[in-house]
Structure 1
Amino acid sequence: MTAAAVDAVFPPIVPGRVHRWGGARLIVARARELRQVPPLSPAERRVVRGLRAWRQAEWTAGRLLAKRLVGEVVSAPADGVEILPRNDGSPRVVVGGSPMPALYVSISHTAGHVAAALAPEPVGVDLCEIDSADAVRRVADHFLSPEELSLVGRERPDAVTGAWALKEAAVKADRSGIFGAAPRGIPILGLRPPLLGGRRRAMVWRADDAALALVLAHPGG
């Protein structure tokens, strides 16, 4: 991968629209523009009541986007779609009270943006505000190998935050965690275009002032 490739910015993505990539559906929205409250089931309301006040708004916004995506592929009334947490906290789709194992969903939040992705295979989506680059640099040695650090570099904020978003989206698809050994087991082989090790497909966009990563992982990958 050349230095020029790293220097290229990630392609822009338009907030508020449903995009398709690699069989997945993806939507990112500006948090300030999401004022609608989705219909919540009794189980979802119980989850919300257990959250801190500041977390309730972003949790609800993420479900609003995820339910919009589910509604595009499943014939069900809006109040019949639930996005409920598994025991590990990752979201799952339930329609009419029945789990939908063939639909995978992922949700991400920052202070400024919310994103959701839906796919027929394990999927992870992550947002990282580009002005968080300094914070990401401070922990870069924990989630990037020396080879990856050399590839990504530390100078460009969009490259650094894009690498973080890629790793976070990948461990979400694997249902593991960003801290610990898991991120090191998913090598970044390229950044522009994104290329990950294993049977994974990845993409990174720029959504306003945030890096947005999507990772699809084959169930046996």
Structure 2
Amino acid sequence: MSPAAVAAGAFPPIAPGGVHRWGGAALIVARRPGPHEAPWPSPGLSPAERRVVRALPAWRRAEWLAGRLLAKRLVGGALAAPEREVEILPRDDGSPYAVVGGSPVPALNVSISHTARHVAAALAPEPVGVDLCEAGSADAVRRVADHVFSPAELALIGTDRADALAGAWALKEAAVKADRSGVFGSAPRGVALLGLTPPLLGGRRRAMVWRAGGALLALVLARP
């Protein structure tokens, strides 16, 4: 698909606040609260979660809390468990996992993303990655594009359309989150971007991109 075809397409909108379902995954996106809007300490956190968040810089606490509360809502809804019994804790590599009633839930995979304006969480029975990228971050994406995208992918995306760049970046990052690898190493080059509208990735991956206000939201499911 040419850049002109990408420009002619449109990422479908996704409404904030509600639980959306796609491909077996559950997904929520919301406006991110400001640093003084989120209650702290939050009554919805377990002692283990409080220990994690206390170790964070003060400026990161609101974003961390916002993402975890969305993920707790998804897990609680999926298992019909009270949210106070749900914990979202970090693995050694920083990726989140769910604990319910003190026991890990390996059958559910969690992913969380946030920008300065939005936060999202996704839950799926297979490896899942969710990522947000503000369309206003397109200049930053352009500066690192050669490290993340192949020449063929850049020809596909084009560099003159902010939402295409942001959507492509979100797809790559969501994919490496599903793989539990990092976006700043060589891993993104191993994820082939074959289409953008509709999104198509190489390998055993399914993907979708939506517009959430001024951000692009990507969801990637990776079959193990």
Scaled to the shorter chain, the TM-score interval is over 0.9
Question: How far apart, in 2, do the equivalents of 1:218 and 1:205 lie?
Answer: 21
Contact kept, 8 Å, 2:3 with 2:158, in 1: the verdict is no
Matching residue of 1:218: 223
What is the CA RMSD across the aligned residues, in angstroms?
A: 1.2
Contact kept, 8 Å, 2:67 with 2:121, in 1: the verdict is yes
How far did residue 4 of structure 1 move? 4.4
Tell me the secondary structure at the aligned position of residue 33 of structure 2.
helix
Deviations 1:73-116 (A, max 9, x none): 11322211000000000000000111100000000010000000
1:198 equivalent in alignment to 2:199: no
Name the amino acid aligned to 1:203.
M
Tell me the secondary structure at the aligned position of residue 17 of structure 1.
coil
Aligned length: 219
Matching residue of 1:89: 94
The 1:54/1:190 distance shift into structure 2, 3 A limit, reads: same
Deviations 1:96-153 (A, max 9, x none): 1111000000000100000000000000000001100001000000000000000001
Question: How far apart, in 2, do the equivalents of 1:80 and 1:6 lie?
Answer: 44
Tell me the secondary structure at the aligned position of residue 106 of structure 1.
strand
Tell me the secondary structure at the aligned position of residue 32 of structure 1.
coil
Match of 1:173 among 165, 171, 178: 178
How far did residue 35 of structure 1 move? 3.8
TM-score w.r.t. length of structure 1: 0.96
Question: How far apart, in 2, do the equivalents of 1:44 and 1:107 lie?
Answer: 15
Structure 2: stretches of 5+ with no match in the other structure? none
Tell me the secondary structure at the aligned position of residue 198 of structure 1.
coil
1:187 equivalent in alignment to 2:195: no
1:122 equivalent in alignment to 2:127: yes
Contact kept, 8 Å, 1:38 with 1:63, in 2: the verdict is no
Contact kept, 8 Å, 2:128 with 2:178, in 1: the verdict is yes
Structure 1: stretches of 5+ with no match in the other structure? none
Deviating beyond 2 angstroms after TM superposition, the runs of 4 or more aligned structure 1 residues are 2-5, 32-38
Match of 1:40 among 37, 45, 59: 45
1:67 equivalent in alignment to 2:72: yes
Name the amino acid aligned to 1:16.
G
